[in-house]
Structure 1
């Protein structure tokens, strides 16, 4: 009479531990213990991030005034914004402010890293000096530039008019539509390019020196070594830094609000400032949150595309 094989004997006969089913097939045999360990973090994220975000999405679909109960209106706030010319201008200004700032920071940061890679005197000292704009508080930096840009008593006009004689009279850098956006972008660039420079410098130091030596032996010029050795070695760092800076710059509220409050005439009105003015100026909280969330899908899609590109680059 044949005796049926036990489960253990069957696993041994198959040469393995048996076929896993359910979550254990993908997460491993100890997935329950893992969930137990990370459950406090998951609950904290749900309480501090997921719930406020979901509640914000709900409020964006309501007519919510300060001190009044919300009235659900569906997508009315989003439809109104899609037809609002002032909102369109804020979207345009936001993209202009973001991409112009990030592009200039990328160029200046790369130049800063290349200079600091050369054997200059007091290199550590100059590295620390160049980090000052990045570590200085936003409010302090913006107030300093508010004084520098002042049309009557500002240092910039004093230098350009009285010292160097490049202008016949002072310019209202923050009060004229033609110069306000460029002035605000310059402040954001001044604050942000050290982050690019330090990140690129760290990446350059991680590139093996043998690659540069081999390229030099093959007769590659300085430009060719930069193009074929330095840039490929910095590819992932460039993507990460540009992605982070794009998110930070797009959400930059302090510099624009302190310098211009979105003026003159909406010339520097960006979406974070418009959301703030709608919420605390007009006291329309629902519409203000809709402004803040309007471009979230596009930004999320951009992040996903860049993340997938980085993953493919690593596999190569």
Structure 2
């Protein structure tokens, strides 16, 4: 009787999971496999219009992208952006979480309003920051002019290849830090107080308690927060396309932007699929290595 009940429970669990499994296969696994397959084809927009299948061209899409130099540069921009934003997001998010974890007046109110940047659609965020950076009438221009005593009258951060990526990083941090802070705050509130009190009795100061007690206790939450941040910033497209379109001179062309340009600007869907495939593989590798490093550290 017990064996039958256990078998029935397992079968019922599988039936409940079936819709989610089917949805995942249809809308995630199948499109990924289709994209990988098309990356080995000479497949353009005209093939869709005419209803003809693409022709097999092996690794030509990949070799052309590598030889053009566009792929290497996009990977470099992507990695710089991801590393910088993830590290800064953790620093700012952790700092904000530590502040909000204190019993200070107005902390609950600030917890409520700090999520506003995160809930604003990414495209709207990009447009807001474009206005802020606007070199003729943007707020940043007036701030720089005021604090420089009028010596600097123009500050076109998005028009300079050296600073455009920094402008997008700031916009990304403005949007993502609140969520990171909220997740870290949840982890921080679950750190046992008796461990912190024991460390204080042993003579540990604030920083020693933070590094040796608090952060080790928060490692699972930190791991989830950083993994989410890595994935989010690897696939970041709306901010780049809205604010710079990948310019100036390709300074902000990430793998997401390059994939879009190859597929829908150059009308080469096979090449776009090749970029997407490499982009997916690189993201999986980075997340895997990060999680492996964190396990080793632990």
Q: TM-score, normalised by structure 1?
A: 0.85
Residue in 2 that maps onto 1:102: 86
Query: Post-superposition shift, 1:167?
Result: 4.7
2:213 equivalent among 219, 229, 234: 229
Cα distance in structure 1, aligned partners of 2:170 and 2:184: 21
Structure 1 match to 2:19: 40
Counterpart residue number, 1:149? 133
User: Mean Cα displacement is larger for which, 31-40 or 76-85?
Assistant: 31-40
1:48-104 Cα offsets, whole Å, 9 max, x none, are 222221111111111111031311111211122222212211111011111111111
2:261 maps to 1:277: yes
- Matched residue, 1:63: 42
Does the CA-based 8 Å contact 1:151-1:172 persist in structure 2? Answer: yes
Give structure 1 stretches of 5+ with no counterpart.
Answer: 1-16, 18-27
Equivalent position of 2:286 in the other structure: 302
Q: Would you say 1:205 and 2:189 are equivalent positions?
A: yes
What stretches of structure 1 move > 6 A for 4+ residues in a row? 309-313
How many angstroms apart in 1 are the aligned matches of 2:168 and 2:108?
30
Structure 2 residue 37 is the aligned partner of structure 1 residue 53: no
| 1:116/1:76 CA distance change after superposition, 3 Å | same
Question: Which deviations, in whole Å up to 9, do the C-alpha atoms of 1:22-64 show, x marking residues without a partner?
Answer: xxxxxx8666665444333322222222222111111111111
Contact residue 259 and residue 272 of structure 2 kept, 8 A: yes
The equivalences for 1:98-137 within 5 A come to 98-137=82-121
8 Å contact kept, 2:123–2:242: yes
- Where structure 2 has 5 or more consecutive residues not aligned to the other structure, the ranges are none
- What's the offset of the Cα at 1:312? 8.0
Any conservation in 1 of the 2:199–2:209 contact (CA below 8 Å)?
A: yes
Inter-partner Cα distance in structure 2 for 1:164 and 1:119: 38
Inter-partner Cα distance in structure 2 for 1:42 and 1:78:
32
The offset of 1:160, in angstroms, is: 1.2
Stretch of structure 1 that moved more, 66-75 or 140-149: 66-75
Contact 2:35–2:276 (Cα < 8 Å) also in 1 = no
* Maintained 8 Å contact 2:255/2:279: no
Deviation at 1:137, TM superposition (A): 1.2
CA distance in 2, matches of 1:274, 1:259: 15
- Equivalent-residue separation in structure 2 for 1:38 and 1:312 (angstroms): 33
Distance in 2 (CA, whole Å) between partners of 1:256 and 1:245 is: 16
Which whole-Å CA distance do the structure 1 matches of 2:146 and 2:218 have between them? Answer: 44
Separation in structure 2 between the aligned mates of residue 132 and residue 159 of structure 1, nearest angstrom: 24
8 Å Cα contact 1:149-1:156 kept in structure 2: yes
TM-score normalized by the length of structure 2: 0.89
Q: CA deviation at 1:210?
A: 0.8
Please give the root-mean-square deviation of Cα atoms over the aligned residues, in Å.
2.2
Q: How far 1:164 sits from its partner (Å)?
A: 5.2
Report if aligned partners of 1:93, 1:268 keep a CA contact under 8 Å in 2. yes
Name which of 60, 77, 91 aligns with 2:61: 77
